[in-house]
Amino acid sequence: MRDSLGSTTLNTAPDSNNAGEPQFPVRIGRCIYCLATDRLTDEHIIPHSLGGMWQLLDASCEQCRIITSKIERHIAHEHFIAVRTVAGFPTYHPKKRPSTLVQPIQVRKDEDHLLKLSPGDHPAPLVFLQFEAPTFLSGLETPSIPGVVTAKVIARGAKLSKLVEKTGASGYSVPLPDRATYARFIAKVAFSYAVGAVGLESFAEVFVREAILGKANDIAKWVGCVDSEQWTTGTGEHECVGVLANGILQVGVRLLTKWHGPEYRVVVGRLHPSVSPVP
Ligand SMILES: [Zn+2]
């Protein structure tokens, strides 16, 4: 089954070969993070709670799942909670949908007051972090926490302004996600998509694996945003586009496309020469 919500194109660069379009779900048969082969569970490439439908079957062991669930909980369940509730995204626990949502507004400078609103009245700001380019591409030194160019309040800024006006507040603030966790989340999406596209056995080296598992502090080397060419088309709900060049597989990731989420670039890993032709 293909994800009707987004693109599954694995594009080709001039000096690359076409590894084909993934047809989800793809059965893997071992943990894509630690390669264990027992007690495997299915892996959603984009969380179900954000409307993701692409799946890898038997692709994560219990131990790695605990780690990746923590990442997803922070991003999908905490950071995107307002927009998920207001936009009616799918949930496995409909009864647990919040009946009120909090929006911080400022009554005086630097003093937040937490406004409790019903989902219908909540502006549900959608905040995306725009990162600096992956240092693998920029050649700059890798910081332990990814540098943020800007935090973009997208699509719903007008509703926020209206709320501020209505309440007579002086401003509002939007909670930001943890930067490293956010970048690990994007890396996890890109890596699991890439495994579905080219197969786990095609990787000679996976660059992002240790950082996703929290065992390395180099996520900024592999995940970021680039000013130049965008690979995603800006259509569909979520998009992943893989490009293979000089043996290195990069994936462009755009989440919640219709709300104009930015494109992230993830340098996922190096493939075996048999997959990537030697120029
Ligand atoms: Zn594992």
Kindly give the distance from the C-alpha atom of residue 32 to the centroid of ligand 1, in angstroms, as a whole number.
7
Kindly give the distance from the C-alpha atom of residue 190 to the centroid of ligand 1, in angstroms, as a whole number.
17
pLDDT at 256 over 80: yes
Q: Are 131 and 148 in contact (CB under 8 A)?
A: yes
Distance (Å, rounded) from C-alpha 64 to C-alpha 246?
30
> How large is the greatest C-alpha to C-alpha distance in the chain, in angstroms?
64
Task: Confirm whether pTM is higher than 0.75.
Answer: yes
pLDDT at 279 over 60: no
Distance (Å, rounded) from C-alpha 194 to C-alpha 197?
5
Residue at token pair 């030697």: 278
Give the mean model confidence (pLDDT) for residues 89-108: 75
Kindly give the distance from the C-alpha atom of residue 141 to the centroid of ligand 1, in angstroms, as a whole number.
30
Weakest mean pLDDT among 51-55, 94-98, 123-127, 155-159? 155-159
DSSP letters, 197-260, are HH-GGGEEEESSHHHHTTS-S-HHHHEE--SS---S-S-SSEEEEEEEETTEEEEEEE-SGGGT
Kindly give the distance from the C-alpha atom of residue 35 to the centroid of ligand 1, in angstroms, as a whole number.
6
Q: What is the pLDDT of residues 205-219, one digit of tens each?
A: 999 999 999 999 999
Kindly give the distance from the C-alpha atom of residue 213 to the centroid of ligand 1, in angstroms, as a whole number.
9
Distance (Å, rounded) from C-alpha 145 to C-alpha 21?
33
In 118-212, DSSP assigns E strands to 126-131, 148-154, 171-172, 203-206
Kindly give the distance from the C-alpha atom of residue 36 to the centroid of ligand 1, in angstroms, as a whole number.
6
Which percentage of the chain shows pLDDT scores above 90? 44
> For residue 157, what pLDDT band results from cuts at 50, 70 and 90?
low
Distance (Å, rounded) from C-alpha 126 to C-alpha 66?
26
Distance (Å, rounded) from C-alpha 25 to C-alpha 190?
16
Kindly give the distance from the C-alpha atom of residue 184 to the centroid of ligand 1, in angstroms, as a whole number.
16
Kindly give the distance from the C-alpha atom of residue 133 to the centroid of ligand 1, in angstroms, as a whole number.
29
> For residue 155, what pLDDT band results from cuts at 50, 70 and 90?
low
Tokens of 66: 């605990």
Kindly give the distance from the C-alpha atom of residue 34 to the centroid of ligand 1, in angstroms, as a whole number.
4
Kindly give the distance from the C-alpha atom of residue 33 to the centroid of ligand 1, in angstroms, as a whole number.
5
Residue at token pair 């950082």: 211
Kindly give the distance from the C-alpha atom of residue 63 to the centroid of ligand 1, in angstroms, as a whole number.
6
Q: Are 60 and 40 in contact (CB under 8 A)?
A: yes
Give the mean model confidence (pLDDT) for residues 129-158: 89
Kindly give the distance from the C-alpha atom of residue 265 to the centroid of ligand 1, in angstroms, as a whole number.
24
Contacts 24+ apart (CB under 8 A), 238-241: 238/3, 238/5, 238/6, 238/46, 238/50, 238/51, 238/52, 239/6, 239/7, 240/6, 240/7, 240/8, 240/45, 240/189, 240/190, 240/193, 241/7, 241/9, 241/10, 241/11
Q: Count other C-beta atoms under 10 Å from residue 223's C-beta.
A: 32
Kindly give the distance from the C-alpha atom of residue 16 to the centroid of ligand 1, in angstroms, as a whole number.
30
Weakest mean pLDDT among 21-30, 159-168, 211-220? 159-168
pLDDT at 113 over 90: no
The amino acid occupying position 270 is: R
More confident residue, 122 or 33: 33
pLDDT at 93 over 50: yes
Q: What is the pLDDT of residues 186-245, one digit of tens each?
A: 999 999 999 999 999 999 999 999 999 999 999 999 999 998 888 888 777 788 999 988
Q: What is the pLDDT of residues 35-81, one digit of tens each?
A: 999 999 999 999 888 888 899 999 999 999 999 999 999 998 788 87
More confident residue, 236 or 257: 257
Give the mean model confidence (pLDDT) for residues 91-107: 76
pLDDT at 277 over 80: no
DSSP letters, 48-105, are GGGT---EEEEEEEHHHHHHHHHHHIIIIIIITHHHHHHHT---S-GGGS-S-EEEEE
